[in-house]
Structures are given as C-alpha cells and as structure tokens.
A and B are shown apart, each in its own frame.
Chain A
Amino acid sequence: MRVLLVEDDAPVAAGIEAGLALSDFVVDIVTTLDGARGALSAIDYDAAVLDRRLPDGDGLTLLQQWRRAGIAMPVLMLTARDAVASRVEGLQGGADDYLVKPFDLDELTARLQALLRRSAGQVDRSLRHGRLALDPVARSVTLDGAPVALVRRELMLLEALMRARGRILSADQLKDRLYGIDDEIESNALNVHIYQLRRKLGREVIETVRGVGYRLGALPADERLHGDIPS
C-alpha cells in the first residue's frame, strides 16, 4: 500500500516511514503542503498521513482543498494539539481519523489499516477472494485455509490486486503500490513477482488484460469474485 506522509520533522518522518515499512507500507515523505500537492498529482496514493503544523501552513487547509476537489483518499491527521475542539475541527475538516503525538506505532499502523479496509468497503479483517484469504495485519495468505509462503513484494502485489476487487490495474499502478520514489526497480521485477504468484496460487489468480494491465482472475472451483460479501 502506498502512503503519503506529510511531516516536516525529519526524525519523526523517518520513524514513521521505518515503522510503516515493517507492515509493508510504501511511504513517500514530503515536508510541505506544496510538496504534498505535487506528490498527489503524480501518484495515486491509498492513504495519507498528514501533520497539521507545516512550514507553509496548516495541514487542515490542504485537506479541505482536497475534499473540495473531490479527493476521497483516507486521511489520518497527526497533531500535537490534544484539545477536543481541535480534534473536532480536524474531523469536520475532512480527516478520517486523528492521532495525537506522541502516538504508538502499532496504533498508527492499525488505524491506517482500518482506514484502508473501510475505504475498500471491507467488513472483516481479511481480504477474501474465493478460496484465497489475505490478512493485511498479520501479513499472511491462506489458500483453502492452508498458509502459503509469499515474499514481501509478492504479498504487496497480491494485496493491491485484491483491494482493487477485479478492477484492472496498469503495470505502473502496480509498481506504485510496491515501490517508493527512491526505490530502484529492475525492469522485469514486476513480471517476476507475477510469475511467482501464479506459480504458488495457480495460473488463473492473475489475469493479464493485453495492453491494459492486470486484474484478479477467477479461481477454479469457485466462481465468486467477492467472497467476502454475504449473500
């Protein structure tokens, strides 16, 4: 999952980035409101962690601009002000959640995952696709209840596809989910991960749409695409 972190304090930003990376989040750090605007115009982020107090203004004004522009990306606000009024202000300004510094890293991760789950319309902790289940918190995948061993990037790729719920994702969009701005990407890295996933879960799990991209394929013996929605 790709997260935009808007935080001007370098040690704090580095800590959050390292902490979120432990849960396989790909984090881009920007230190100003302008930087955040630039980053958001270039990359389609799954969520943003936004500090309120930034060198060029209040994070809340940026959030309000985003919301007015129709950007619905989940946003978690960070602030040092713990007054109830200031939390209410943040939530009413369009924040989906609010954390007061200093926070617990586990709480930040859990809240971000909860935001992502909600924005994907997912009810329970695991993402499900037929016989396949992915637990984004435990970072584990099971097929018919049996654990499948995946390396980090394979799991991130599968998670991106499962969250897309059958939508087609281009190769670039998939790379955005897997790599940060500063990561070096080998040209065929994505193909390697796709090959490995197909080998471990079955050929049909990823469907190639020629010239467009990839999407989650129907798994044999189970025709349902959205196994998590009770009928």
Chain B
Amino acid sequence: MSLRLRLVATLGITLMLLWGLTAAWSMRDLSSQLERSLDQRLAQSARMVAGLLDRVPAAAWDGEMGETSTIPALEGVACRVSSLRGQVVAGTHPEMNDVLAVDDEGYSYRDHNGQRWRVYTLVDDDKRITVADRLRERESLLAQVRRAAFYPFLLASIGSLIALWWGVTRGLSPLSRLQRRLMSRDHDDLSALPIRGLPGEIRPLIDGFNTLLARTRRMLELEQRFTDDAAHELRTPLTAIRTHLQIARRVDGDPHQQAMQQAEAGVARLTKTLDQLLLLARMESEEVAQGSVDPTRLGEALEAAMVETGSRERCHWRASVDRLHVALSGELLVIALRNLLENAMRHGLPDTPIEIEAQRMNGLAVIDIVNQGETIPPEQIARLTERFHRGNHPQGSGLGLSIVETIATRAGGSLRLASGDGIGLRVTLSLPLA
C-alpha cells in the first residue's frame, strides 16, 4: 500500500469521523434548542392573549355569554379561551376539542386527525388560555434549519479532504522526485545521489544508500583491477610463447634453439603464475583451519622451504626457531616460508645473508625474515601485498606476498613489512602458537 494512500486514508477517516460527530452533536443541540424556543414563544403568545383579555371589561365577557366568538383560523396555529368551568369564550378551531380542551396548566402533546400538536395552557385568574402549534410546521422549520447548517458542513469536509490530499502529495514530493531520479538513472550508474534539498527524514536513508554505492564502486574497481592484472600476467607469457614459437618455425640452427628455449621459459613462467593464482584462489575460498590442525614444528618447515628455494647457503637462523610449534598445516607453512624466502632472495643484494629469527610474543609465533638491499619507500611498502604488484622485480608473479598475507590472516595471524636503516626488507609473519 502506498505511503500516500495510507496517509490520506488514515487522516481522511479520522477527519470524517470528527466532522460527523461534531455535526451530529450540533444537530441534536439544534433541535432541542429550537423546541425550547418555540415552546417559549407558545407560552408568550398565551400570556399575550391573557394580557389582552385582562384589558377587556369583565362585563364584555358576561354580555356575550352564551355565544362563542370564533376567530378565523390560521393554518397550523390554534387558540382557545375558556372559563375555568370549561365554557369556551373565544378561540379558533371549535372542532379541535381533543387538542384545545386541556384542564392542566403547562405543556403537552395532543393528537387531532392524525396530526400532532404542541399545546400550552395558561390559567389566569378565571380564564384558561390554551394555544397550540402544529408539529408539522415545527418539523419543517427544523428541517430547513438543518439543511442550512448541513451544506457548510459538507463543503468543509470535502474541502478538508482535498486539502489533505494536496498536502500529503506535496509533503511526499521529495520522495517522488527521488523516485523519478532513481528510475531515470542508468542501471550501472554507481555515482552518489545528491543529498541537497532532501528533507531530514530521508537524508539518513540516502546517506546510507550512498555509502553502500561507494563500497560497491570500490569493490568493482578492485575486481576490475584484479581482472586486468590477471589478464596481463597470463597474456604476457602467452605472447612470449606464441611469438617465439612462430619465430622458431621460420628460422633454423641457433636462432631456432634460442626461440624454443624462450618459448619453454615462457611456459615455465605461465605455469608458475597459474599455480600461484590457483593457490591464492584456494586460500581465499577454503577455510584455513584454526586449532584443528596438527601443530607444525617451525624448524622443519623452514628446512623444507630453504631446500625448495635453494636458499640454505644464504640463510642464518637461531636455534630458537626449532622450539616453536605453529597452529598451521605443514603444507601451508612451507608455502608461506617459501614465498618469503624467494622474495628475500630476489630483493636482497646477491650473496648477502638472510636473517631469520623467531620468538614467542603474546601467544603468537613471530617470525622475522630480514634481507639487505635498497630501502623501499613507505608508499611502495603498502602496495607490496597487493595482488600482482611486483615492485621493481619483474621475475616474480607478484602474488607471493599476497598469498602469505592470505595464509596469515586466515590462520588468525598477520603479515607486516618494513624497510630502512640498512635493512632492505623486514617481513614479520605472526602465526598462532600450537
């Protein structure tokens, strides 16, 4: 149900009820007021007749005695003057005895020929004066008054309903504008919606919406960059392979051999990049279990990693390394260390030692791998763990540090990088202790 319809319905029904109640109340009030004032007029006319009769000498009465004077009748009004003994002195409607022959003083209702009358009887000294109003006249008067009062009511109610509709529509117009703006946007338009001119109630909503849009935009950008990077990393070795194979087909002898070697080197590089990519994808999708794995002795894993990377000659490590047990599967720990050692070999100056230290700290095994070399500026350091960021070392796949960081954070640890003060790169890998 639309907001506007709901508002208009709720407010409209309430308004109509209130108007109706007010109208009913005033109508009821009106009829009782009208009845009272008409009754008063009836009584006044009786008193007026009595006053008039007082001025007539009593002789005039007696002289005429025995003969009833009849006044020509008026439609809907009747009057009779009689003596206390019941003898009619003067009056209208001599035939309306059942209405006008009243003994008691005061108001009463009487019927005559199926019509109702309001009767008032006044007893004044020796006379009884009875006046009567036909109710039909009273009712038609009441109806006229009611009609006169009803039309303004009706007009006011219709007017307020229209005003209500207009007001609600106007009040909701920022929402309609917003709706139109949203509908007219391109489906892939992720730019923020303008906040200016929006009422305070909607602003937090649009603020939230814009934050969401910004986050989506950032995610899409990252996604796009990753796709571009992956395309570049996979297509470049493919280009080398294809080009060299085409050359090999056209030349003989040494150049042929060279071209074939280049093509094979390209295949090796592509394989390595693919392996790393798949590994990264596996790391990101699989749970790197915490706690449930068999603890791995750091010394063993380091040994394996050094053998795999051929870096044993250059590595210097302390005995403390052997005593630590890490809550990470042996396979993953070797992958992480291997990537870090490869990186140290590549970045470090040739023939300089790679220092490895390990210690316990706050329930974590903190492993430092330090190589000598050029200082890396801080803004570069921050980008080193980005996927496919290779710094100035085109040999690598650009995924090694990303893989290590993924392994570390998944296992509940962390990876920190630092450079400077004679140190080329200090990689600090923190992993939970077993």
Residues of A within 8 A of B (CB): 8-12, 14-16, 18-19, 22, 53, 55, 80-82, 100-106
- Show the binding face of B for A, using Cβ within 8 Å: 228, 231-232, 234-244, 246-247, 250-251, 255, 259, 262, 265-266, 269, 392, 394
Cα A58 to Cα B43 with chains together (Å): 110
Q: Which of A15, A22, A100 has a CB less than 8 Å from the CB of B250?
A: A22
Q: Which residues of B contact A10 (CB under 8 A)?
A: 394
CA distance A81 to B392 in the complex (A): 22
Is the CB–CB distance between A101 and B250 below 8 Å? no
With a CB–CB cut-off of 8 A, which chain B residues contact A81? 228, 231-232
Minimum CB distance partner of B232 in chain A: A80
**What B residues does A16 contact at CB under 8 A?**
243
CA distance A227 to B270 in the complex (A): 50
Shortest A80–chain B CB gap in Å is 4
Say whether B251 contacts A22, CB under 8 Å. yes
Instruction: Verify B235–A102 contact, CB threshold 8 A.
Output: yes
Question: Looking across the interface, which residue of chain A has its beta carbon closest to that of B243?
Answer: A15
Chain A residue nearest to B255 (CB atoms) is A18
Q: Which of B244, B255, B265, B394 has the most CB of A within 10 A?
A: B244
Offer 20 A-B interface pairs, CB within 8 angstroms, sorted by A: A10-B394, A11-B266, A12-B240, A15-B239, A15-B240, A15-B244, A15-B247, A18-B243, A18-B255, A19-B243, A22-B247, A53-B232, A55-B392, A80-B228, A80-B231, A101-B235, A102-B242, A103-B239, A105-B243, A106-B246
- Expressed in whole angstroms, the Cα–Cα distance for A22 and B265 within the complex equals 22
How far, in angstroms, from A106 to B236 measured CA to CA in the complex? Answer: 18
Residues in A with CB closer than 8 Å to B235 are 80, 100-102
Q: With a CB–CB cut-off of 8 A, which chain A residues contact B244? A: 11, 14-15, 18
A148, B273: Cα distance in complex, Å? 50
Q: Which 5 A-B pairs have the closest CB atoms?
A: A15-B243, A11-B240, A80-B232, A102-B239, A80-B235
User: Which A residues touch B262, using CB under 8 A?
Assistant: 11, 14-15
Instruction: Output the residue of B228, B236, B240, B243 with the most chain A CB within 10 A.
Output: B243
Nearest A-chain residue to B241, judged by Cβ: A102
